[in-house]
Structure 1
C-alpha cells in the first residue's frame, strides 16, 4: 500500500524518514463517530509494509459531538516507535500492520499526561 504524497507529511524518527497521512475526508462511519480516528505511516523513500494506527477517539470533523483529538507530530513519532517495538518492520513486504491504541496507551505515549481531547459543543 502506498500513501499518496499529496496531503502527506514527512517526519524523521531516529534517522529514518517516514511519510504519514490522515484521510482527507471521514468515511461515513467516521463521520457518525462509529469508527475511530485513523492515520497511516510508511517509509518515505522505499516501498514496504504500511502502519495503520487507530485512536480511541473520533475525528475533529465528525458530525456528532464526540470527543476528538488532533494528530500532532509528537504523537506520530511516539506511535512509530511503539509500532517498531511491537514488531513492525517498514521495509518488509506484506499487509499493513494494524496498531490500535487505547486511552492508557495514549497517556503513556504522551509522557504520562492525559491526552488533550477536544469536546465540541452540541448544536441544537
Structure 2
C-alpha cells in the first residue's frame, strides 16, 4: 500500500528521505478520540509502510478529547524505533505496525 503524495510531508532521517501522512478521514475509533495514527514510507520507493499508533487523540474528535499535534521530531523518533525493531522500508511486504500508545 502506498501513501498518497498529496498532503504528505517529507522528512529526512539519517540522510534517508521518507514521506509521512495523517489519514485525512479518521476511522471511527480515531474520531472518538481514542488514538491517532499516521503512515510513513520511503520517498520514491515502494516498500513496507510503517503505521504508527499514538496515544493522543485526533484533532476535532467528536468526543472532545484534548489532542496533540504530530511533530516531525515525533515522526523521526518513530522511524528510528521502527528501524531498530526490524522495519525494512525498502522491502516489499505487509504494513509494519508500531504501537506507541500507553495501553
Question: TM-score range with shorter-chain normalisation?
Answer: over 0.9
RMSD of equivalent CA atoms: 1.2
Deviation at residue 26 of structure 1 after TM alignment: 1.7
Q: Relative contact order (alpha carbons < 8 A, sep ≥ 6): 1 or 2 greater? A: 2
* Separation in structure 1 between the aligned mates of residue 60 and residue 27 of structure 2, nearest angstrom: 11
Residue 38 of structure 2 aligns with which residue?
Answer: 39
Residue 71 of structure 2 aligns with which residue?
Answer: 72
Aligned residue for 1:12, secondary structure, equals strand
Give yes or no for contact 1:58–1:68 (8 Å, CA) kept in 2.
Answer: yes
* Higher Rg: 1
Residue 117 of structure 1 aligns with which residue?
Answer: none
Deviation at residue 29 of structure 1 after TM alignment: 2.4
Residue 24 of structure 2 aligns with which residue?
Answer: 24
- Post-superposition Cα deviations, 1:14-65, rounded to whole Å, max 9, x if no partner, equal 010000000112222221224x200000000111000000001210121112
- After TM superposition, what 4+ stretches of structure 1 lie above 3 angstroms from structure 2? none
Residue 97 of structure 1 aligns with which residue?
Answer: 96
* Separation in structure 2 between the aligned mates of residue 43 and residue 61 of structure 1, nearest angstrom: 29
Deviation at residue 102 of structure 1 after TM alignment: 3.2
- Structure 1 residues 111-122: aligned runs within 5 Å: none
**Where does the alignment leave 5 or more consecutive residues of structure 1 unmatched?**
104-124
Deviation at residue 82 of structure 1 after TM alignment: 0.6
* Separation in structure 2 between the aligned mates of residue 47 and residue 60 of structure 1, nearest angstrom: 29
Counting matched residue pairs gives 102
- TM-score, structure 2 as length reference: 0.92
Aligned residue for 1:92, secondary structure, equals coil
